[in-house]
A and B are shown apart, each in its own frame.
Chain A
Amino acid sequence: MEIKLEKINDITLVVLNGELNMNNIYRVRETLKKILKEKKSKVLIDFDKVPFVDSSGIALLLEIVASFGKANHHICFCHVNKKILSVFEITKVHKLFNIFDSHEAALRSF
């Protein structure tokens, strides 16, 4: 899993590249924890290069969303592929996530 951080105005863009599964969730967790600690309150995670998410990945995303919500920070996702989106929908966790089709739509939500 490669993780790239970019800035778009006051928004932190987190670009993930690789599968979000049990074996690499810790790296994403550490990155997001650091962002939260630095009080960066607007975060967009780009899933364009994430081909696969398992239940460990879903658990991580729930944990992150809950941590950001608790701190009154805003986090959303974009470019989630249709198969991963269907996994979110089957498990209904999509109700807890802010998911957008594009960067632009996500950025407008902040």
Chain B
Amino acid sequence: MTEKVMIDENIPSQLHFVPGFMARVIETLGVLELDEDTVFDLKLCLDEAIVNAIRHGNKENSELCVHVLVKQDKQDLILEVTDKGHGFDFSRIPDPTTEENIGKLHGRGVYLIQNAMDSVKFLNGGRTIRMVKSFKMKRGL
């Protein structure tokens, strides 16, 4: 077992909790000395996944929490975000880059995640998104 849990927290389903939580995650990941582009991608994807879980999964019900798990497995960071909603069929998400969708105001979060991460899986009927990003270590940890 080489996985190391870096973050294991439940966030109430209120959007104002997200910035403070994200700041803590980025601070925690600081130990890995990631490059700026990797930090940007991790921040973008975790932020999008948590906001989706709060908005679409838990419908901003403050009595429900979103569970966030961040693990390091050698040179992979594994991010899992789980909500308590009804799940969804990710294969039915429209492509936001088609001519008719480019100008639409919403529907880019999952697309951005799929582009920025090395692997994305939806588990638990769509209630959990599991994202993996490989990174290079500046020095041995």
**List of B residues within 8 angstroms of A90 by Cβ:** 111-112, 115
How many chain-A residues does the 8 Å CB contact rule pick out? 20
Complex Cα gap A54–B19 (Å): 12
Contacts A21-B47, A91-B97 given: A62-B40 contact, CB under 8 Å? no
Which of A22, A23, A55, A62 is close to B103, meaning CB atoms less than 8 Å apart? A62
Contacts A87-B112, A95-B102, A96-B102 given: A55-B18 contact, CB under 8 Å? no
Complex Cα gap A27–B70 (Å): 32
Complex Cα gap A91–B115 (Å): 9
> For chain B, what secondary structure do more than half of its interface residues adopt (helix, strand, loop), or is it mixed?
helix
Contact check, A59 vs B105: say whether CB atoms are below 8 A apart: yes
How many chain-B residues does the 8 Å CB contact rule pick out? 24
**List of B residues within 8 angstroms of A52 by Cβ:** 40, 43-44
**List of A residues within 8 angstroms of B139 by Cβ:** none
Complex Cα gap A96–B111 (Å): 18
Complex Cα gap A52–B47 (Å): 11
Complex Cα gap A55–B116 (Å): 13
Contact check, B112 vs A55: say whether CB atoms are below 8 A apart: yes
A58 part of interface (Cβ distance < 8 Å): yes
Complex Cα gap A73–B16 (Å): 34
**List of A residues within 8 angstroms of B48 by Cβ:** 54-55
Contact check, B96 vs A91: say whether CB atoms are below 8 A apart: yes
Complex Cα gap A55–B43 (Å): 12
Contacts A91-B96, A91-B111, A91-B112 given: A59-B106 contact, CB under 8 Å? yes
What is A's interface to B at a CB cutoff of 8 Å?
Answer: 21-23, 52, 54-56, 58-59, 62-63, 66, 83, 87, 90-93, 95-96
